[in-house]
Structure 1
Amino acid sequence: MTVRRTGTIAVLAAGTLLVGVASAAHAATWRYAFEEAMDEVQGKFAQKFKEEVEKNSDHTIQLFPFGTLGESADIMEQAQAGILQFVDQSPGFTGALIPEAQVFFVPYLLPQDQETLNAFFRNSKAIHEMFPKLYAEQGLELLTMFPEGEVCMTTQEPVHSPSDLEDVKFRVMTNPLLVESYKAFGATPTPLPWGEVYGALQTGIIQGQENPGFFLESTKMYEVTDVVTCIGHNNFTTAVMANKDFYDGLSEDNQKMIQAAMESAFEYILDYQKNLQDESLKKIKEAKPSMQINILPEEERQPFMDTADDVEAEFINMTGDSGKKILDQMKADLKSAKQNTQ
């Protein structure tokens, strides 16, 4: 999904945030930045978390949606520096910092069935036991991960096979594995910060991009593309983290309160997303009746699915034994989630 602007505004905003940092032992204002708008999925999650924290403590949560503090790299740096207490960032960007997090971009790894997907995120040992150690090495406390919706492509021309993506300059996040995935799909992957995507599509610098349905609708990607194609290859994942020094310095009661607020927001956001994909695609069609929306059938998906093994091998090549252990555990977790929801 995504993330967005940069420049002196981020520096100025970060400097402002340094003023008046309160002791965590007393009522404090905690700062939480995320990669989307307030009315998008990450924003809805953040608002629910804020509501729960403020209902159950004397602390205040100050929310910073996309664009207020810079691009993804900016808010991550601010979280690691302790300027922000909380940050929501997709593994699509964190993958440069934590290569193993790129596992979420192995195509066709995550299930399309929502019940199985939710069970996986609730119970995954990879997410709840293995990833926290990797995030801690980067000064971050991993609090939760959650899905945001099926990822679909928007392009200028219809896509029914990898050959239709040949010579298409396709925007991807700055994620090495996502680059490899779209190479395998036949496209020419072009990493770009989110803030440049709309204009690049408008001017023809790129001809395609991918995001969950709600984000395609809310960011009006349909204005600068003509076709939405859903091939079932991924569900956008994001992660909420805290600055580890901040979190470790909290009382046990405050840590428990934060965890409870995260769990409440997690369940809320899973419920919020019911039917969100279908509703978003319907809104796109209403806003632009000429927009083609193609949900590829199994036989047309198969050539894309056939690339998954090569991308998986590339992931292991990039991350070594650590990545293989993560991948193996995720597969075991997914198998368990499927068995428990049948």
Structure 2
Amino acid sequence: MSYKSLLAASALALATSAGMAGADTWRYAFEEAMDEVQGVFAQKFKEEIEANSDHEIQLFPFGTLGESADVMEQAQSGILQFVDQSPGFTGALIPEAQVFFVPYLLPQDEDQLASFFENSVAINELFPPLYEEQGLKLLTMFPEGEVMMTTQEPVTSPEDLNEVKFRVMTNPLLVGSYQAFGATPTPLPWGEVYGALQTGIIQGQENPAFFIESTKMYEVTDHITRTGHNNFTTAVMANLDFYEGLSEEDKTLVQDAIDVAFDHIIEYQKGLTEESLAKIKEAKPSITITTLTEEQRQPFMDTADEVEAEFLEIGGDQAEEILNQLKEDLEAASGES
């Protein structure tokens, strides 16, 4: 465990020792603020657990326990019982999870997305054993919103990203995706992104609109571009030893709470993107928000095969099986929606 993680663990132990009753107090960390999408999901999960049992859930938003790597170490070691973390950060642990960064794989239609995440064979059957190999129980994955680029200069084609230092999560396939887009991908911890944009160390980053608005990324960039290339995906996990040690009653309690929180977060996100963009425009009238036409998107879409081929090379032993199953799942979701 890193020094940072040890410090965070010590602080956590001190903070939770009083009144802690064995496994009855469960700790849950996530990558966003309490009022952002992961926080809303976590609060609903907490509400359901505490309404239907004597257990208590303690929530730890981003920054309270260190960076993403520190939080994952704490989840794997059992300091945390639950963690919400994007495949963007777990890709090094679970290479197959990088599939969610193949551009233009996921649809933009919200109903289709919800159906896919709820019913996907890849997510519900193929991924769980891979997470278990890392000491994690995969409880669910859910979408957080259309990913958009924020940059200092307008972007209407891959040429506009030439030599642009673009912040990406520490994920090999996301790096490959932005290389294919023509940018210079620059992995950075999230806590350094605002300052790096402000000082010109980087000139761009990507995130859903709600996150751009709540973190005020629009203050240090001038253009938001909707290329339609992806939807931000996240995964809720439990420490495997903790989960397997639960009674059947508590396992059912946890899964029922996850299901309720999933439905809640899908409903919560309806209209959230447009609402967030409106708030950004109100806060900074000079910002440009551009939705690329199909013709403008085509050169970006043309990179998908290249990135998909890279995924098959670096995405682990089950990369091909998972990619093929995801495509089948998406086709099924398309029919259902």
Q: TM-score, normalised by structure 2?
A: 0.96
Q: Are the counterparts in 2 of residues 76 and 87 from structure 1 also a CA contact under 8 Å?
A: yes
Alignment of 1:309-320 (within 5 A): 309-320=305-316
Q: Please give the residue correspondences for 1:155-194 in structure 2 after superposition, counting only pairs within 5 Å.
A: 155-194=151-190
Which residue in 1 is equivalent to 2:86?
90
**Could you say what secondary structure the match of 1:122 adopts?**
helix
Contact 1:18 1:83 in 2 (8 A): no
**2:220 corresponds to 1:221:** no
Q: Do the aligned partners of 1:227 and 1:292 also contact (CA within 8 Å) in 2?
A: yes
Q: Whole-Å Cα distance in 1 between the matches of residues 320 and 151 of structure 2? A: 33
Unpaired stretches in structure 2, ≥5 consecutive residues: none
User: SS at the partner of 2:58?
Assistant: strand
Aligned match of 1:326:
322
Name the SS for the 1:58 alignment partner: coil
Partner in structure 2 of residue 23 of structure 1: 22
User: Secondary structure of 2:237's partner?
Assistant: strand
Q: Displacement of 1:190 after TM fit?
A: 0.2
Matched ranges for 1:1-342 at <5 A: 10-16=8-14, 19=17, 22-24=21-23, 28-341=24-337
- Aligned partners of 1:310, 1:38: CA distance in 2, in Å? 37
Gaps in structure 1 of 5+ consecutive residues: 1-5
In structure 2, distance between residues paired with 1:246 and 1:42: 22
Deviation track 1:159-196 (CA, whole Å, cap 9, x = no partner) reads 00000000100000000000000000000000000000
Aligned to 1:3: none
* SS of residue matched to 1:36: coil
Aligned-residue identity in percent: 73
User: In 2, Cα distance between the equivalents of 1:186 and 1:16?
Assistant: 48
* Amino acid paired to 2:148: C
In 2, Cα distance between the equivalents of 1:67 and 1:155? 25
Q: Compared with structure 1, are the counterparts of its residues 15 and 60 closer, same or farther at alpha carbon in structure 2 (3 Å cutoff)?
A: closer
Aligned length: 333
The 1-side partners of 2:52 and 2:42 are apart by 15
Q: Give TM-score scaled by structure 1 length.
A: 0.95
Q: Deviations over 1:73-94 (max 9, x none)?
A: 1111001110000000000000
* SS of equivalent to 2:163: coil
Offset at residue 17 of structure 1 (A):
6.1
RMSD: 1.3
Is the contact made by 1:182 and 1:189 (CA closer than 8 Å) also made in structure 2? yes
Query: Which moves more between the two structures, 315-324 or 208-217?
Result: 315-324
- Write the distance in 2 (CA, Å) between the matches of 1:281 and 1:331: 30
- Partner of 1:84: helix, strand, or coil? coil
1:78-123 per-residue CA deviation (whole Å, 9 max, x = no partner) reads 0111000000000000001100000000000000011111110010
CA positional deviation for 1:339: 1.1
- Rounded to whole Å, the distance in 2 between the matches of 1:338 and 1:292 is 32
Q: Give the Cα separation in 1 of the matches to 2:189 and 2:10.
A: 20
Q: How far apart, in 2, do the equivalents of 1:14 and 1:304 lie?
A: 44
